[in-house]
Amino acid sequence: MAAQNDWSLYNLYPPNGGIGGFWKQPVPGGLVYPQQITGNSSILTTEPFNEKTGTFIGSCGHSFDQVYVVREYDAICNVSVALICCNLCGCVQSAVSPFEDALMGNTGALIFATLYPGAGGYVPGSCS
Ligand SMILES: [Zn+2]
């Protein structure tokens, strides 16, 4: 049987429910629920309220200031990878390979992958 990864871009990590195990992603690669609240949560106020004030918006639709970096393995290419994930649900936003390139002070790969997910980052299984 060909090697396979149990993770993929734009999907929850870990695959079953993400961080904490309770997140739902009805469409693969789509929004992850629950979403953060936008707009007033009380009908008796006109005070603006928005939980999506973070620096980054992920493919999951969440807003966050920091990323969750997980060391994983690309079993197809036999290389280590750093998965750059939403730090709420764990949805994989991009990947850096080898893992060490994501460490601070290296090439700026972590910052690049965080700011520009999907643009020039590591493509899983790209060796084949
Ligand atoms: Zn998320």
Amino acid (1-letter code) at residue 113:
A
| pTM to 2 decimal places | 0.84
Q: Determine the average pLDDT of the residues in 93-120.
A: 77
CA of 1 to the centre of ligand 1 (A): 32
Looking at residue 120, its pLDDT comes to: 60
Per-residue pLDDT for 8 more than 80? yes
| Cα(49)–Cα(88) distance, integer angstroms | 19
Query: What tokens appear for 30 in the block?
Result: 């789509």
Tell me how far the alpha carbon of residue 35 lies from the centroid of ligand 1, in angstroms.
8
Q: 62 alpha carbon to ligand 1 midpoint, in Å?
A: 5
Chain centroid to Cα 64, Å, comes to: 10
| Residues, CB within 5 angstroms of ligand 1 (ion) | 32, 58, 60, 62, 86, 88-89, 91
Confidence bin at 110 (pLDDT 50/70/90): confident
DSSP code string of 21-33: S--B-SSTTS--B
Instruction: Quote the tokens at residue 119.
Output: 């643009």
The more confident residue out of 111 and 73 is 73
Q: What is the pLDDT of residues 17-65, one digit of tens each?
A: 999 999 999 999 999 999 998 876 667 777 777 888 888 899 999 999 9
pLDDT at 128 over 70: no
Separation of alpha carbons 92 and 113, rounded Å: 11
